[in-house]
Structure 1
């Protein structure tokens, strides 16, 4: 289960930093600008491991620098200062100070905004699915030692929302994420981004601060 979140983690780092193709840049900038105008959002997604055929559901709620991510029996709370990872199977919560640099790989607040360094990008193709047109952009890491060979992002041509993305690892593994639903500007209490031990009976809290 934990490797599923690791796969999710690649999402944040893979959107990071790109350059080159003008059409790809236009698509990515439009996509990024769309999400930056939102005060908050909630996204439900499906994770797919094409090799093992493993399929998992997850969701994330984001508000500014705060987020709450659920997937594969794990839940990550971040209130902008403290980040807590709760594992349901062991009923254990690990608490750390929030470091944007260290949390970048699993930080959904950065997914749509950190694509401007470290990756080259090109427009790949335009496809039509269920009557809708999508533009596919391919990101390639500049670092030769990256575990990721490339990332493909599918963006709705009309409203610039992300439909899906696929990660190609150098090991041959392919991981996909598909957006099932997206709600912009959701009403969410800031308290929901902080872990409340009283709501988890018998939880063991490991404070690493």
Structure 2
């Protein structure tokens, strides 16, 4: 299993070519819940969230799980997974692979529809998905509001996304992506720390001095 596949869910791997046009209508109850998540996230200065990323291949061909952490401040983010870091200050992005001690640098395309960790907590859903409330469930002492989302662009490999929102805290607790090829990706938040004082701007840049001998691939 390539490490970049494990990053796919966090960055969603959902890249849209142009703005999708809405077809049909979304459930207003689901919109109220998602708007609450977005509003709360926008009110926070910083966020640190630990997560578990699970990959399930079609016919049990792949079954993998990794723990990671995401740091967020506005549109800036840093994702750490075993052997990999992805960093963005919203102008430049750095992807570091530990096994080859290599960092790839790119400009951030502001016009791109690619999903980022920050967008997962904001109103990404309005332009590219139809959504409906799929009831509530009780898990680990929490009431989760489950929302089924379907892309408006049916040509994409993603055909469904299930988002579970912690009803009490208005945080995303879990997101599961279903692909047409049978692969499933589950992104589960295990802890969510708002306004963490340890999150500074320095986190959102790559300091090559801390990685002796790192090979730099600058694609800007």
- Above 0.5 in TM-score? yes
Aligned length: 207
Judging changes above 3 Å, is the alpha-carbon distance between structure 1 residues 101 and 145 closer, same or farther for their aligned structure 2 residues?
same
> What residue number does 1:65 align with?
75
Distance in 1 (alpha carbons) for counterparts of 2:75 and 2:10: 18
Alignment of 1:27-176 (within 5 A): 27-51=33-57, 52-102=62-112, 104-105=114-115, 107-113=116-122, 114-176=124-186
Distance in 1 (alpha carbons) for counterparts of 2:172 and 2:104: 31
Q: Does 1:195 align with 2:206?
A: yes
Distance in 1 (alpha carbons) for counterparts of 2:101 and 2:73: 26
Q: Does 1:179 align with 2:185?
A: no
- In the alignment, which of 2, 5, 18 is matched to residue 4 of structure 2? 2
Root-mean-square deviation (CA, aligned residues, Å) is 2.0
- 8 Å CA contact 1:31–1:161 kept in 2: the answer is yes
Q: Which runs of 5+ in 2 are unaligned?
A: none
How far does residue 72 in structure 1 lie from its aligned partner after superposition?
4.1
Deviation per CA, 1:118-161: give whole Å up to 9, x if none.
21000011111233211100100111111111000111112211
Structure 1 residues 64-73 or 27-36, which shifts more? 64-73
- 8 Å CA contact 1:2–1:72 kept in 2: the answer is no
Distance in 2 (alpha carbons) for counterparts of 1:11 and 1:163: 19
Q: Which runs of 5+ in 1 are unaligned?
A: none
How far does residue 41 in structure 1 lie from its aligned partner after superposition?
0.3
Distance in 2 (alpha carbons) for counterparts of 1:152 and 1:82: 31
